[in-house]
Amino acid sequence: MKEFLSNIWVKRAVGVFNLVYFAVIGMMVYATFDYDLEFTAGQEQSFFTVYVAASVIFLVLMLYSRDVLITKIISVLMLLLAFCLILFNMYDWILIVPPLVVGLIIFFAAGTHETVKVVMGTIYLLVYVLGLVAYFVFNMLFGGTSTMTVLDADMDRDTDVFDFYKSQYTKICDVTKDENALSPDGKYRIIIYDVQNSDKGAVNICVVPYGNDIKLKFFTLKEKGIQKTISNKGVRGIVPDVGWTEEDGKLVVLYRLTPESELKKTSVTVMPKKNRLEFLGIS
């Protein structure tokens, strides 16, 4: 057994196998850049258990093959993936911590030349410090202080927003149900947001693409960055009436902001381009 484990070809094979973990984290980085990751109800703990277990297993395999070239390369690049994961999932520690810990340990433990470690360690120190500072500066400058909460049947009942709209919850469910919120062609969906800001707040009516989400076992990747604002003049605390119709072959959103206001309409012909800088607070 000792001879088997010390065989260089076994270590090289394990080094190649380590690419699986590197690739999965890379896909996670890309996915959370392009989508919002939303855990399936009750699956957070199961995901975290599997995620941590896989990270520990692959960390052991990387330590075993730490003198193999492929593992050395992974050890140098892993912290870059972890940094991107932090940027795209700020404060979502379930996703961030396991690969970050793996990256830190294997960076120092791998048999990479000390000069490479010193140079790359200095670069990563600057990247993490300056990058995170830049992230927070961009969010302060462009992100604003508004908090937007989706009004629908799945609202978190333990929040102040739910308490604020509790008396209108039945109407929220009726207005946002699929039969009413989905466009006739099934390509778009109406979303209603409660907006809290330094002013008196508002209710926004927006249209987003529908049907592009990717549902997996533990979570759903929800499309982000494409949204057309129909109205941002709604009165906070009043759920607007919304619906779809078609005029001259064009999709039209009908909406009434308050029971006393007149019925308005806005056509939906072209959606805005995808905003890939949304994670920086740039809208």
CB atoms within 10 A of CB 206: 18
Tens of pLDDT, residue by residue over 109-143, are: 999 999 999 999 999 999 999 999 999 988 888 76
Question: What is the tens place of the pLDDT at every residue in 191-239?
Answer: 999 999 877 889 999 999 998 889 998 999 988 989 999 999 999 999 9
Q: What is the pLDDT of residue 6?
A: 80
- Angle, helices 44-64 vs 93-109, to 10°: value is 10
Q: What local confidence, expressed as pLDDT, does residue 56 receive?
A: 97
What confidence score (pLDDT) does residue 140 get? 82
pLDDT of 144: 66
pLDDT at position 241: 95
- The token pair at 181 is 């919120």
How many alpha carbons fall within 13 Å on the CB side of residue 131? Answer: 15
User: Which amino acid is present at 252?
Assistant: V
Residue pLDDT tens, the chain, 283 long: 777 778 889 999 999 999 999 999 999 999 999 999 988 888 999 999 999 999 999 999 999 999 999 999 999 999 999 999 999 998 899 999 999 999 999 999 999 999 999 999 999 999 999 999 999 988 888 766 678 899 999 888 889 999 999 999 999 999 999 999 999 998 999 999 999 987 788 999 999 999 888 999 899 998 898 999 999 999 999 999 999 999 888 999 999 999 999 999 999 988 899 888 888 877 6
- The whole-chain average pLDDT of the chain stands at 92
Confidence (pLDDT) at 74: 97
Paired tokens of 129? 């410090």
φ and ψ at residue 94, rounded to 5 degrees: -60, -40
pLDDT for res 117: 94
Q: SS in 3 state form for the chain?
A: CHHHHHCHHHHHHHHHHCHHHHHHHHHHHHHHHHEEEEECCCCHHHHHHHHHHHHHHHHHHHHHCCCCHHHHHHHHHHHHHHHHHHHHCCCCHHHHHHHHHHHHHHHHHCCCCHHHHHHHHHHHHHHHHHHHHHHHHHHHHHCCCCEEEECCCCCCCCCHHHHHHHHHHHHHHHHHCHHHHECCCCCEEEEEEEEECCCCCEEEEEEEECCCCEECCCEEEEECCCCEEEEEEECCCCCCEEEEEEECCEEEEEEECCCCCCCEEEEECCCCCCCCCHHHCCC
- CA dist 30 and 39 (Å) reads 17
Model pLDDT, residue 141: 81
Predicted local distance difference test score (pLDDT) of residue 279: 83
Is there a contact between 167 and 121 (Cβ–Cβ < 8 Å)? no
